[in-house]
Structure 1
Amino acid sequence: MQAFGQERQIALDNILDEIGTAKIECYRAEQFSGLLDGLIPIIKDATNIEAERVDCIIELLSTKQFVMVNEETNNFITIFKAKDLGNMMKAAFMNNSTPASVKESLAQSISSLGIIADVNDEYFKPILDLLFDRLKSLEEQFVITPYKKDIDPKRNKYGLRTLQSILNALCVYAIGGIEFQKEIANRGGIEIGYQYIQNKSAKTRVIAAYNQ
């Protein structure tokens, strides 16, 4: 049984590597449907030893879907929601037994995939609180070790560990409508946008502009 578990973990690692190097823009959304079906049983149990790998796979898909053809991006999100994966992820996020690293990855994916469509969603504020808490922690680290573009991770591995990943999640909400913007503004979102609009990273500057 243990050997079988190790084989599954290796298989998940291989899937993660393949998605990481794949030219997603050449794929059709439906090609990921079977993969998502296979991940569902593990997502339902966020304490599973394989949960972190699965959440990393979903997080990677949630970020790489932005380079798909627009129609395929919409199709991917439609397929994702049709499988009720969003609700499973939100439930896992709120589960007190879910490891902190998995919660961060879930928050990133939930945000990037636009799973929360309304500020009244009971999961929105806890996720927003986590985003701002992680941003505060990161800024405290910058006081000790100033931000340097050349050593900033190129891709989030995984969760809310980089400035870009946090700002990107906030950006998704910021462009989601006035009510989302109000919630972000009430937490100092406008000031944050101005703070990073001069960042050395071009991508961070663009994301920061949306948070103003």
Structure 2
Amino acid sequence: LIVLKSVLGVQAKGETSRIYEVINFVGEPVIALLIGVFLCLLLPKRLNKDMLSSTGWVGKAIKDAASILLITGAGGIFGTVLQMSGIADLLGNALQDLNIGIFLPFILAAALKTAQGSSTVALVTTASIIAPMMPSLGYDSEIQKALVVVAIGSGSAMVSHANDSFFWVVTQMSGMNVKTGYRLFGLGTSVLGITGAIAVFIISLLFT
């Protein structure tokens, strides 16, 4: 439903119809997930109280998801505090003075991601800070702008740890404990981000 809404939204810009309004409504993430929950209730042959208990499949699902939802909410609150405090702008201006080139968006995104856990917040915040700086940094061509986007994406993938809801999704669903999650998933995301940054730097040397 979400994909259908996105596809129709691109193709039906400026157009309004009853069908599109319905798809636009049911394609909202919250509504689509709610529909999915109701459909899941149709899977068992019989609905009873046992499935809602802590030992039932609904209860177990809630137990697995509860900590992830709480951590996601806490991370979102912390991310909002960072945005409202202006520390991201201060960090961006400080890094700009270091003249580190294409590593600027990477380091800024990595710092924000590591601090508050949300890749989305890191992406949006870094992009809003870097965008006004791009002319002064010399990122004018299309390929330079594309490299900045990839650098921000690489930074937002860095160091997934306990304040990242995705960390808990991976560790809990795979049966890893926190220590193993740090060693495997946390280190893996760090390697992913650093590899992306190095690739962006090499490409920037070739095309800029």
Give me the TM-score of the superposition, normalised by structure 2.
Answer: 0.27
Structure ranking higher in helix proportion: 2
